[in-house]
Amino acid sequence: MRPVRTRHAQRRPRGTRAAVLVALVAVACLGLAACSSDDGGEGSEPDAGPEGQKVSKGATLDATWPLTGLPVTGSQTAAQDHPVMVVKMDNTPSSAPQRGLDAADLVVEELVEGGVTRLAAFYYSRIPGTVGPVRSMRASDIGIVSPAGAAVVTSGAAPVTLQRVRGAGIDFFSEGAKGFFRDSGRAAPYNLFTDLAATTTLVESAEARPDDYLPWGDAQDLPRGKPAGSLSASFGSHTTTWSYGKDGWTNSNSYAAQGEQFPADTVLVLRVQVGDAGYRDPAGNPVPETKLEGKGDAMLFHDGRVVRGQWSKKSLQAPIALSVRGKELTVPAGRTWIELVPAATGSVGIG
């Protein structure tokens, strides 16, 4: 298919810093090196990604990374010449082994049709090579990626979803764009991958540092909470399980390749409202739409404990705010996995 230029999202100015962490570093620039879809959840033909050229101007960082709150160290860069990249990844047994999760800064797990889930894996401080399997977008992704001004790597989407994503000003790249390839050793549609370092070169430079995705803070600031050595987040047909140990929180039933699991310091569970996206998949299942705006209950799992509070989000584009007993709740700086568990039909077990 012919390449089509997608609309570029506006970059918002940097917000107020929540984390008090160390040291500015010297500014340097880091050079980093869709088509028809057989994606089972969507019966559509996505656009190919744009062949746009980057500009040389990059987003200058301050002391911390926006997706983790961790300090930018002297061995890293003080400027990034790309926006946040989000890869839509399959999260069913057919996806095993998933590639590239270990390099993500942050992961969001969301409900799709049939009670199973997909992942939105966020990359910014590090852009890896092979990532996937890559699957399709949902309207739910607008509220997930917009606060970061992110570009999405996807296998496509249904026409109604494409229209809404374009209307939200979100860049996306699909099969046919640079970096996408099919793994001949896997069955379609679970064989689409991207060389993310190559695909990222198609994106125009971000001119402003992304806002902090979460209100970052320090573990010492957390309320005491209650002991929690395990948790299970049930979405319907799929339940994601976690256990706490010396290396943080481990996804006990991960589909990631050996050595490529996401190393979660924190698991943040948000109980969310889920509506109907207004169309059905090829099997006749209604497609759900997670409503990541408004407010709901939150559970923050860190260091073997759980703190219960509330989350709020004023709009799809707004950042996530957290509170406990009317006071701001911050997330300890580190790598966070967010579970968007349906409030009405999902459940969370704590052990």
Residue 137: the pLDDT is: 95
**pLDDT confidence of residue 79:** 61
Name the β-bridge partners of 217. 332
Rounded to two decimals, the pTM is: 0.84
Going from the first residue of the chain to its last (351 residues), give the mean pLDDT of each consecutive group of 10, the final group possibly shorter: 33 35 31 36 38 42 88 69 94 97 98 95 96 96 96 94 94 96 96 97 82 95 95 96 95 96 97 91 85 97 97 96 96 98 96 95
Query: Which pLDDT score is estimated for 118?
Result: 97
pLDDT for the residue 63? 85
Q: Compute the distance between CA of residue 249 and CA of residue 229 in angstroms, rounded to an integer.
A: 9
Rounded CA separation 349/269 (Å):
11
- Going along the chain from its start, the domains and CATH numbers come out as 59-200 (3.50.90.10), 216-280+287-350 (3.50.90.10)
pLDDT recorded at residue 279: 84
The amino acid at residue 117 is T
Taking Cα atoms as reference points, which of 196, 245, 183 lies closest to residue 88? 196
The pLDDT value recorded for residue 41 is 43
How many whole angstroms separate alpha carbon 153 and alpha carbon 183? Answer: 17
Q: Report the pLDDT value the prediction gives residue 60, as an integer from 0 to 100.
A: 59
User: Which value, to the nearest 10 degrees, does the dihedral of the CA atoms of residues 167, 170, 175, 180 take?
Assistant: 180
* Contact assessment for residue 196 and residue 87, using Cβ atoms and an 8 Å cutoff: yes
What is the identity of the amino acid at 124?
Answer: Y
pLDDT in the model for residue 281: 79
